[in-house]
Structure 1
């Protein structure tokens, strides 16, 4: 192992580590930071031998620019996958806002944010489905494949012409679309229930509306949720396919 090995290892380690701290599953606090660093180091050692253009004693200014580039590549790849997975939490937050569960916030270690009950449950289901379908292996394959598209000494031309920012905005749009699709059946049903309860409250003013409405909405929420659960798994498949296709597209854009 000569000097070029260690310079190349440093740049590979920066890209993989920044990906690990932003990508789904790996970025949560349920994975200790020591494990993330150790796993990134092992992957970096295995990956250095496949680098076609190793670094040979770069100058200080060149080294800083290369480290910054590797940092940006890892962050963009991880955030592209994480942004799309946020749609699961968005759907749960919209549902809980409609049903009244938004007052009960829980800390979600997967996204390191406060989320509601339904959002927390959907996050757990999404992570379990991603693990059961070997999605974590595809995420690792994605960051390792990035070295074929974006070499250690290569630049990122897409950061200048605006294609990168335009694609990230498109990922945000897809996140909202998938999140609304996941929440639409329950939100629509609860909206109709609110209209019916409003009519009943006007026709029977003696009834205590605030004591009757929440249990009815909760019961209907869980019944509808059980009924549409198969469609949720279908939307998860669409979400994961979109996530991996977006990672492939972002590699082609940045390596373009």
Structure 2
């Protein structure tokens, strides 16, 4: 395959979308993966895409027109990556809320995969999810979504319609609703425990409820998390379905197709 200067221009457009997806999508965006590996993977996938899609119809007018195409391709890749990363964000939110209820939020730690401070349960949920993500071959789904995006959204043909606003509203709504549904058993039990401790504080004021309450919340929270782990595979399967759904929503919206929410 011979490359001309024009081919290199198209190659950069492909590389921008591919690298944007790689930098946002689950597993591929982990900080534990060296940046050189991510760049090499993006470059390798870009070469494959160049041989699969028709980029001869791409046209632009000068440097400004080319810059606009680069920005559009970057936004397209980021939105597709955000659709696939929804499940990971939900579990991180759920883990943080659990730790706020049981008292572990006071002990923050550095998550090596994101290089940001997070709570213990949030890191634990993310680690378990990533193992199931790889075991379910969902990392191949991200690559498939990447290639499919070029069939639906040719280079420079992304359309940012008002339907993207509706998708973002549903995205944020599901982020909170599903996150709270996951932690609802823990939240409910801790609420009941707080009521019981409040009654005991009135009945037996000589008891040190601060010390007893902290220990009771930790033990109750860990016990409930142990029980919830048996339901975790079903939760992750549901999140995988949401991930596929939102990836399809973003792709179809930028392809100019109408979106019908279930």
TM over 0.5: yes
Matches within 5 A, 1:155-194: 156-157=158-159, 159=160, 161-194=161-194
Report the counterpart of residue 28 of structure 1 in structure 2: 30
Distance 2:122 2:27 in 1: 16
Conserved in 1, the CA contact under 8 Å of 2:73 and 2:156?
A: no
Report the counterpart of residue 3 of structure 2 in structure 1: 2
CA change 1:16–1:187 in 2 (3 A) is same
Q: Root-mean-square deviation (CA), in Å?
A: 1.7
Report the counterpart of residue 101 of structure 1 in structure 2: 104
Unaligned runs of 5+ in 2: 257-262
1:64-115: per-residue Cα shift (whole Å, max 9, x none)? 1211111110111112222442110111111111111111111223344321
Conserved in 2, the CA contact under 8 Å of 1:182 and 1:232?
A: no
Report the Cα offset of residue 224 of structure 1. 1.3
Q: 1:37 aligns with which of 36, 39, 48?
A: 39
1:174-200: per-residue Cα shift (whole Å, max 9, x none)? 111111011110111111111111211
Report the Cα offset of residue 127 of structure 1. 1.0
CA change 1:221–1:29 in 2 (3 A) is same
Conserved in 2, the CA contact under 8 Å of 1:5 and 1:48?
A: no
Report the counterpart of residue 66 of structure 1 in structure 2: 69
Distance 1:147 1:119 in 2: 34
CA change 1:57–1:93 in 2 (3 A) is closer
| Aligned partner of residue 99 in structure 2, secondary structure | helix
Report the counterpart of residue 12 of structure 1 in structure 2: 14
Report the Cα offset of residue 228 of structure 1. 1.9
CA change 1:57–1:151 in 2 (3 A) is closer
Report the Cα offset of residue 213 of structure 1. 1.7
Distance 2:168 2:112 in 1: 24
Report the counterpart of residue 79 of structure 2 in structure 1: 76
TM-score normalised by L of structure 2: 0.91
| Aligned partner of residue 96 in structure 2, secondary structure | helix
